[in-house]
Structure 1
Amino acid sequence: MIELQATYTVSPNKRLSILAAPAEPLSGAWADDLAALNDAFATPGSREVRFRSPFGWMQGVLHEKNAMRDRRRTFEGHVWFQPAAPSTTP
């Protein structure tokens, strides 16, 4: 599982899309996350990810989507909120 360091906002249908080559160069946590995704997708397939959203931790499965016509290469997939840890108090 890849744990992304930056905070990402997810669309209302719980779909996450990350551009593999954004128009503006990234820095900080986003650049590190993009490098980790590029390394992870060196071989085809899907990868599990975990990341922070403004509303809490989420996880899901991303797939690499290659560019077609005017679209750029992206990492896309469906995500969900992680279940809360069980309470230890009676």
Structure 2
Amino acid sequence: MIELHATYTVSPNKRLSILAAPAEPLSGAWADDLATLNDAFATPGSREVRFRSPFGWMHGVLHEKNALRDRRRTFEGHVWFQPAAPSTTP
């Protein structure tokens, strides 16, 4: 599982899209996350990810998409909130 360190906002339909080559250069945690995703998708397939949203931790599956129209590679997938940890108190 890949753990992303930046905070990402997810669309209301729980879909996450991350541009692999954004128009403006990234820095900090986003640049590290993009490098991690590029390394992870060196081989085809889907990858499980975990990341923080403004509303809490989310988990999901991303796959690499190579768009033909705008020629921008993206990492896309559906995500969901992680279930709360079970309580240890009765």
- Take 2:76 and 2:28, find their aligned partners in 1: how far apart are those partners? 21
Deviations 1:51-75 (A, max 9, x none): 0000000000000001212141000
Stretches of 4+ aligned residues off by more than 3 angstroms: none
TM-score (norm. length: structure 2): 0.98
Q: Give yes or no for the alignment of 1:64 onto 2:30.
A: no
1:18-67 superposed Cα distances (whole Å, 9 cap, x missing partner): 00000000000000000000000000000000000000000000000012
> In 2, distance between residues paired with 1:77 and 1:71?
18
TM-score (ref. length: structure 1): 0.98
Give the SS at the match of 2:34. helix
> How many residues are matched?
90
More divergent stretch after superposition (60-69 vs 9-18) = 60-69
In structure 1, the residue matched to 2:85 is 85
Report the Cα distance in structure 2 between the residues aligned to 1:14 and 1:89, rounded to whole angstroms. 32
- d(CA) in 1 for partners of 2:80 and 2:71? 25
Counterparts of 1:46 and 1:89, CA distance in 2: 37
Query: Cα RMSD (Å) of the superposition?
Result: 0.6
